[in-house]
């Protein structure tokens, strides 16, 4: 999947600034969505189970063909974890505590 260019003329400061604002807006929206998920116990449980499913807490080592699949899943999980830590660092610790209670 190829991404559409955000500017037609990279030498145009106005186009560059608009593109920067658009990227920041998308990032802010994504992090706000993650915060919303993390605001409830159900959301934190869902996120924790998703991180576990992605295999971020275990090694990807397996037979050669399975390693690529495992690493792909793990990569998605690591992206989610990075979003959690950027959106609400304290939520990770809360999720960890709550997962031990379940």
The 10s digit of each residue's pLDDT in 15-64 is 667 777 776 788 888 999 999 999 999 999 999 999 999 999 998 888 88
Radius of gyration of the chain (CA): 18
- CB neighbourhood size of 55 (10 A): 19
* Structural domain count of the chain: 1
Contact 44, 38 (CB under 8 A): yes
Confidence at 1, pLDDT banded by 50, 70, 90: very low
What does the DSSP 8-state code read for residue 80?
A: H
In a domain, 10, yes or no: no
Domain that holds residue 50: 15-101
**Size (the chain), residues:** 102
The 10s digit of each residue's pLDDT in 79-95 is 999 999 999 999 999 99
């Amino acid at each position: 999947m190829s991404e559409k260019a955000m500017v037609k003329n990279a030498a145009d400061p106005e186009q560059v600034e608009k593109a920067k604002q658009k990227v920041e807006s998308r990032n802010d929206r994504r992090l706000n969505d993650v915060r919303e998920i993390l605001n409830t116990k159900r959301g934190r449980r869902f996120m924790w189970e998703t991180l576990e499913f992605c295999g971020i807490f275990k090694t990807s080592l397996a037979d050669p063909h399975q390693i690529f699949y495992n690493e792909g899943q793990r990569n998605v999980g690591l992206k989610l974890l990075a979003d959690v830590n950027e959106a609400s660092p304290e939520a990770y610790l809360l999720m960890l505590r709550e997962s031990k209670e379940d």
